[in-house]
Amino acid sequence: MNLKKLSLGLVALIGFGLTITLNTFATKKVVTLKYRYNLNTENGINIASNWTNVSEQATPSGCEGTAIPCLVEFENSEYTNLDAFLAANPTTEQMENSGKVASHKDLQ
């Protein structure tokens, strides 16, 4: 009888643990993060304080130009935040190669 109670308790505990684990992973919402570069120089492109979060804008306006990234967009499942994106792509060339540059601007 005690073995049966122990088995039922163990099954319940495992079931509870699986439920908590699955709910934790299922509730992660994927969102698109969008940032606009504030400067008109390539110097400083890898510093987070030089970027403005425009994620709340459904379609943020782009910039006009071709020289340097102006607007980057990525999902939080790819990079958790701007710091993670900049750490992985610290140069203009790496940002371009990431495929996350949505718009460019010219140097001034």
**How far is Cα 107 from Cα 98, in angstroms, rounded to an integer?**
21
Query: pTM higher than 0.85 for the full model?
Result: no
Instruction: Give the pLDDT band of residue 33 (cuts 50, 70, 90).
Output: very high
Dihedral sign computed on CA atoms, order 81, 83, 84, 85: positive
H/E segment holding residue 95: helix 92-98
Q: Is the pLDDT of residue 4 over 80?
A: no
Q: What is the mean pLDDT of the chain?
A: 86
DSSP state of 29: P
* Phi then psi dihedrals of residue 74, to 5 deg: -155, 160
Beta bridge partners of 71: 36, 103
- Fill in the amino acid letter for 72: V
Instruction: Give the pLDDT band of residue 108 (cuts 50, 70, 90).
Output: confident
Q: Is the pLDDT of residue 11 over 60?
A: no
